[in-house]
Amino acid sequence: MATTKLSELIGNVLIGAQGRQGFQGAIGAQGAQGVQGIVGAQGVQGPQGAQGRQGNDGSFGGESFQFKYSTDTTSTDPFSGEIEFNNPTIASANVLYINYVDSANVSIQNYLQTIDDSTSSIKGHFKVTEKANVTNYVMFSITGSHFEDGGPPTNHFHVPISYLSGTLTLSDQANVVVTFARTGDRGDIGPQGVQGAIGAQGAQGVIGAQGVQGATGGFSTNSDAQINSLGVGIAATGAQGQILAIGTIKANSGFFYGSTSSTVYQKGIEYTTSTTTARNVDAWGTTSYRSAKYVITTSCNMNPGYEIIELTVLHDGSNVYLSQYGQIRTRNMGTFDANVVSGNVYVYFTPATSDACNGYGIVTLTI
């Protein structure tokens, strides 16, 4: 069989025109998602933005309520939703009249009850602002306790106030906002501070002028004033009995009197003792005197000791009462006592030790 070459066949075949493009095939299914790429490096921080403008000033803080302002100042009942002042010049007002109900027809009576509850002297503050113009306002302090009035039944409060600041100017029935801020209670009293150091002593005052010297008393020669050989004597003046000079009181026998009034007499006493036996110091008649006062000094030499004491003695005719006071002593010197025997009062001293002791004194006897 003869073989024909392809080249020979193509050379003998006529090539026709190209056929039309076939229809697009259907879209194939979506391929699987690729792996996420690596995160890029952080970009450079941008410049800081410009500062924003300052905000508007805040308003007076507190509880706020809407009311209508009434120009009535006669303290008659403000209508529901109204406030009034007791002076047409608002800054001169000292009383606020405020209805229980605000202009939104909401009762705020319970809240208004609390605006004077603070224990501080200033109970709180409030601000009245025109609703349409916040720069038109006035501020007051609440200076005391309010009270309810109106009706009956009551329908508003009278609030004592004091002007602080602002120049509120309003027409009748203007819409206002009333804002209350209550003052906190007074704090507890703190602990007492430490006592301060004692201040320096002040300079000594100027010495006053010397007083006029009184007249010197003379020795009386009447029967009520005598001087014995031992030098005992009392000088006295007239009815007041002011003692101007007293001689040495040292007597061991007899009594020597100086008259200081019609009922009072004085005398000197002296006694000695060297045992612990009671020693009579003085005696006087119950019908002559009712009482006596003694100022007595006792001194002992062998066992040194010294004492000064005051005694008061009173009797009722049969009983005697003795009181001791003003005692100063270096040791126990002894005891004093008194009794009534046969119409006489006896005052005696009982030494604490057997020692040579001497006693001296002045006695004032009263009828």
pLDDT score recorded for residue 215: 63
Residue 257 has pLDDT above 70, yes or no: no
Residue 107 has pLDDT above 90, yes or no: yes
Query: Beta strand 63-69 with 82-85: parallel, antiparallel or unpaired?
Result: parallel
Query: Are residues 250 and 333 located together in one domain of the fold?
Result: yes
- What are the pLDDT digits (tens) for 73-106? 876 678 999 999 999 999 999 999 999 999 999 9
Q: What is the mean pLDDT of the chain?
A: 81
Domain of residue 338, CATH code: 2.60.40.1680
One domain, residues 162 and 256: no
Does one domain contain both 242 and 351? yes
Same domain, 146 and 245: no
Q: What is the pLDDT of residues 24-79, one digit of tens each?
A: 888 888 888 888 889 889 989 989 989 988 876 666 668 999 999 999 987 667 89
Torsion angle in degrees (nearest 10) through CA of 344, 339, 316, 313: 100
Which CATH number fits the domain that encloses residue 115? 2.40.30
User: Quick check: is 4 in a domain?
Assistant: no
pLDDT of residue 217: 46
Under a CB-based contact definition with an 8 Å cutoff, are residues 235 and 220 in contact?
Answer: yes
For residue 313, being part of any structural domain is answered with yes
d(CA 365, CA 267): 8
Long-range pairs for 166-169: beta carbons < 8 A, 24 or more residues apart: 166/91, 166/127, 166/137, 166/138, 166/139, 167/91, 167/136, 167/138, 168/90, 168/91, 168/128, 168/129, 168/130, 168/136, 168/137, 168/138, 169/90, 169/136
Is there a single domain that holds both residue 176 and residue 271? no
For residue 16, being part of any structural domain is answered with no
Q: What is the pLDDT of residue 358?
A: 85
- State whether 258 and 353 are in the same domain: yes
Residue 10 confidence class, pLDDT cut points 50, 70, 90: low
Q: Which of 140, 166, 182 is the last residue of a domain?
A: 182
Residue 327 is assigned to a structural domain of this protein? yes
The rounded percent of the chain whose pLDDT value lies above 70 is 80
362 and 238 both lie in a single domain? yes
Using an 8 Å Cβ cutoff, are 131 and 124 in contact?
no
Burial of 295 (0-12, 13-18, 19+ CB in 10 A): middle
Q: Is 158 part of any domain?
A: yes
Residue 352 lies in a domain: yes
The answer to whether residues 241 and 355 belong to one domain is yes
pLDDT at 47: 93
- Please measure the distance between the N-terminal and C-terminal CA atoms of the chain and give it in whole angstroms: 200
pLDDT at residue number 12: 58
Q: How far is CA 358 from CA 170, 268, 275, 304, 342, in A?
A: 104, 14, 12, 12, 27
How high is the pLDDT of residue 159? 95
pLDDT for res 262: 46
Distance of CA 207 to the CA centre of its chain: 39
Number of domains in the chain: 2
pLDDT tens string 150-182: 878 899 999 999 999 999 999 999 999 999 998
**Range(s) of the domain holding residue 353:** 234-366
pLDDT of residue 216: 53
Q: Report whether 351 contacts 357 (CB < 8 A).
A: yes
pLDDT of residue 185: 81
Structural domain contains residue 56: no
Average pLDDT over residues 291-309: 90
In a domain? residue 73: yes
